[in-house]
Amino acid sequence: MASVRRRKTIEPRNTSVQKEDEEEEEEEVEEDYSKNKHSRKSDKKSKPKWSCVDNCCWIVGCICVTWWTLLFLYNVVPASLPQYVTEAITGPLPDPPGVKLRKEGLKAKHPVVFVPGIVTAGLELWEGHQCADGLFRKRLWGGTFGEVYKRPLCWVEHMSLDNETGLDPPGIRVRPVCGLVAADYFAPGYFVWAVLIANLARIGYEEKTMYMASYDWRLSFQNTEVRDQTLSRIKSTIELMVEANGGNKAVIIPHSMGVLYFLHFMKWVEAPAPMGGGGGPDWCAKHIKAVINIGGPFLGVPKAVAGLFSAEAKDIAVARTVGHAIAFLEALALMDLLGTIYLIICARLLVLIYLYICIPALVLFVVNVLEHPSTCRAIAPGVLDNGFQTMQHIMRMSRTWDSTMSMIPKGGDTIWGDLDWSPEEGYTPMKSKQRNTDTQKASQDGPESEISQTKRANYGRIISFGKDVAEALSSDIERIDFRDAVKGQSVANTSCRDVWTEYHDMGFGGIKAVAEYKVYTAESMVDLLRFVAPKMMERGSAHFSYGIADNLDDPKYQHYKYWSNPLETKLPNAPEMEIFSLYGVGVPTERAYVYKLSPSAECAIPFQIDTSADEQDEDSCLKGGVYSVDGDETVPVLSSGLMCAKVWRGKTRFNPSGSRTYIREYAHSPPANFLEGRGTQSGAHVDIMGNFALIEDVMRVAAGATGEELGGDQVYSDIFKWSEKVNLQL
């Protein structure tokens, strides 16, 4: 009983203690809760926001992870995987032309000389100002373009020529890169001559039988000899190659502006010294088997007019409209980063994606825009903190490049048409066209382009101020001549000296006069450029001409300014020399433009393509202020084909010895999927250098075949029909 009572007496005491303990615990919990709540509030208030530094750290981390992943794939993935994947999806790939022709037993025979075009050959620094320290013999043009975004103003300064002489500015020497590497690739992964060189090597060619005639493409053609003796080096190299190869004549392969450069060379080499090379009237007959012109702008390109007039072209005008935020230097900075990555991973898994998406997107911006290197209008001024107005600087730089004036349309209204007609009149884009290899059939019975019910395009009106002017009857257009107009006071000369272009010497009176003339044809276009860019055209007029010779025996045509115009000079006296014109067709190519005055702004170029000028019809030739015709995206068919189709065909006053001419067209076929890269059937101006059919034709000629053995003419376009409309005395 006693023990029981003790328990009872103890239990109440334990219960009370337990209650006290529980109360203390509750108080502690409440106190902790209140502290935690207060702490959370204070943490919430004091919690730092996500900063730009955090974003940068995450980006750097992602780049590092991606970098090491790519390095891992580089060492793990078999080099043959891309080809295996491609063949699994698209089927077996055809043999490259070099492999195919080697199986046929073809071997290297004639030495070959490559003549690159504008912007596709590398330039390197030999002497510069202090801002260019560390760049000795580094590429300023070509490669990764790293210096463009590292020191943009310095780059522009060193890439510019003297505005008075067209030669080197004081204290600066930029020179062409030598050897096959000068133009095999324009940028990492973006080939120009590399595919052709590799295929020629498969049948036995090597560096002693191949020569890249690189030159400073910024200079006028004669000035490449004055400054660098480039023409003399080409002459001596060809002579050495012919002698070293048992007397086998050379096959010359110019591309783009290189076509005009080699036309100049053929006159220079036979002309007496000191103006010429002193080779004598039979030099070409002794040393040249064939000239295979690829994408040749024989008669110029309207795209050059848009570039020189307003520093833009179709792609740039559209880019300006859809996105001023994309800056030129930022694009090149990204190109440099992608190029660096490519150098490490190019041989393996991601090369196909990289080649098709990254490099073309960036390099086509440079090639298509800078193919005529004044065409950089889309860049928004002031995107850089240092006030580097990209558009004006690019125009200032490119207007010192005299070579751009070699591609102004030649032949005037006789070739390109006037207010009421043009050779391509009636052309509309076609879905397809049957191949036609017979010259007479093509000229007489050849299939015509499908004519839709869309409005008639007046291609002869290269520049029209307003869509209504482009479509109006010529009798309804009231024009005020601009040639004697008073330019007035300078619009922006005071504050724009650092980015000076010749527009800053024009007042509102001059700008108004240009717009009130309303429409410009090929002939008045030259006068327009003299009006808006007198200093540039004064230099250009000393080196280039754009007319048609009435009498080719006139002594004045012995001057070098006429040598690159095929309408003002004769072909060499070389009856056995063959001349080919190889070019792509089936790609919309710029032919005429609709312009408008730009909004008044200080330091602005006062004219721009009117991208709102458009036709809703799917088959219309007018898109975004640009009228298009058939061509290779840069050179219209008329410019590439007319000389070999008509002017040089047979014995004419322009071809007195009757050198045989051939046209070989290649219908454009874009790659079926991204695995095909830039494709092997492309007809685009630069991509055609990887066209298997074209490469095969070139290789067969180099191995000894004639034009007849190739099959003669290969025609898809209406070039023979259009050539009949050109009323030119032959």
- The residues annotated as belonging to the active site are 256, 632, 685
Distance of CA 179 to the CA centre of its chain: 22
CA distance 20 to 13: 11
* Cβ proximity of 142 and 122 under 8 Å: yes
- Residue 183 Cα distances to 119, 216, 357, 544, 687, angstroms: 9, 12, 22, 25, 14
CA distance 435 to 715: 6
**Bond prior to 274 in cis (omega within 30° of 0):** yes
CA distance 333 to 149: 6
Both structure tokens of 674? 């991204």
CA distance 213 to 401: 19
Residue 105 — left, alpha, or beta (φ > 0 → left; ψ -120 to 50 → alpha)?
left
Q: Return the DSSP state at 715.
A: B
Could you please report the per-residue DSSP string of 9-24? HHHHHHHHHHHHHHHH
Both structure tokens of 607? 């004219």
CA distance 603 to 324: 17
Instruction: Specify burial of residue 218 (Cβ count, 10 A radius: 0-12, 13-18, 19+).
Output: buried
* Cβ proximity of 301 and 635 under 8 Å: yes
Place of tokens 């600087």: 393
Maximum Cα interatomic distance, the chain, rounded to a whole number of Å: 150
- Residue 248 Cα distances to 7, 95, 278, 695, angstroms: 127, 28, 22, 21
How many beta carbons lie within 10 A of that of residue 202, not counting itself?
A: 18
CA distance 132 to 134: 6
* Residue 469 three-state SS: helix
Q: Return the DSSP state at 674.
A: G
Length of the chain: 730
CA distance 635 to 9: 113
Both structure tokens of 119? 């912007």
Residue 637 — left, alpha, or beta (φ > 0 → left; ψ -120 to 50 → alpha)?
alpha
